């Protein structure tokens, strides 16, 4: 299972753990909790192609197979860096940790 994926009517963009450069809990410009995601260089073109093909439609943002957001894509993304706005700071922190870990496997308990 890929830690990050975008799904739309015309396909999907799957991002392996190695494709995630950074993920940090933050707040968006309206003060809502969010996760800032940065993908490794080279994925920009794939993000742009996917978002260009799906502009105007509702897509699914999945983290470890779970849909965390279903936004309407208003414009294409031309960079591999974006915000995912969520409902709570705790959700943002948990999603950022999962993405930074780059794996959907549970963390082993010690």
pLDDT for position 37: 94
Torsion of CA 40, 44, 49, 54, to 10 degrees: 80
Q: Are 33 and 27 in contact (CB under 8 A)?
A: yes
Q: For the chain, list the domains and their CATH numbers.
A: 4-101 (3.30.1360.200)
Digits of tens for pLDDT over the chain (110 positions)?
899 999 999 899 999 999 999 999 999 999 999 999 999 998 989 999 999 999 999 999 999 999 999 999 999 998 889 999 999 999 999 999 999 999 888 766 55
- The enclosing H or E element of 37 equals strand 33-39
CA torsion sign for 88, 26, 6, 59 is: positive
pLDDT for position 110: 58
Q: Taking phi first (over 0 means left), then psi (-120 to 50 degrees means alpha), and beta for anything else, what does residue 6 get?
A: beta
- The enclosing H or E element of 12 equals strand 11-15
């Amino acid at each position: 299972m890929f830690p990050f994926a975008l799904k739309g009517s015309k396909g999907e963009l799957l991002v392996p753990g190695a494709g995630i450069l950074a993920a940090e809990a933050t707040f968006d410009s309206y003060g809502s909790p969010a996760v800032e995601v940065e993908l490794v260089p080279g994925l920009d073109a794939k993000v742009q192609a996917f978002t260009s093909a799906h502009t105007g439609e509702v897509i699914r943002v999945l983290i470890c197979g779970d849909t965390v957001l279903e936004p309407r894509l208003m414009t294409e993304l031309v960079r591999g860096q974006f915000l995912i706005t969520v409902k709570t700071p705790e959700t943002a922190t948990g999603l950022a940790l999962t993405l930074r870990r780059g794996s959907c496997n549970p963390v082993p308990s010690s």
